[in-house]
Structure 1
Amino acid sequence: MTCPYLEYRQEANGERFDHSRAYCTATERFVQAMRADICNDRYDLDHAEQCEIYRKHTEEAQL
């Protein structure tokens, strides 16, 4: 299962990139390519429960 919170974008804030970059919609920021690969390659990953970026984001939102 690919990460439901991951998108690939070729532009942001009026800036265009040569290639698509991984963007995490849970945190509303770009993430490292290696992290995106892990998010998309772990088929048994429950993103809402096991993704440290998602968990940290939801914990901060609850404060």
Structure 2
Amino acid sequence: MTCPYLSYRQSDGDHAFDTERAYCEVVDEFVSPMRADVCNDRHEFHHENDCEFYDEAESD
């Protein structure tokens, strides 16, 4: 399961990108591919355990 706060966008409103980029709705910004690995539970990561942004959003 991927993080429910992760989406992929092809623009930032002002600029269009060649490929979609990972966007975190908790911090309201694009995130690095390495951060997206955590969001997508890749490489033995799990967003519920390894992401401080997810913890923050769920505790609110």
TM-score (norm 2): 0.72
In structure 1, the residue matched to 2:13 is 13
| CA deviation after TM superposition for structure 1 residue 3, in Å | 0.8
In structure 1, the residue matched to 2:4 is 4
Q: Percent identity?
A: 47
Question: Which structure dedicates a bigger proportion of its chain to helix?
Answer: 1
In structure 2, the residue matched to 1:45 is 46
In structure 2, the residue matched to 1:33 is 33
SS of the equivalent of 2:40 reads helix
TM-score (norm 1): 0.69
SS of the equivalent of 1:54 reads helix
CA RMSD of aligned residues (A): 2.6
Larger radius of gyration: 1
Q: How many residues are aligned here? A: 59
Alignment gaps of 5+ in structure 2: none
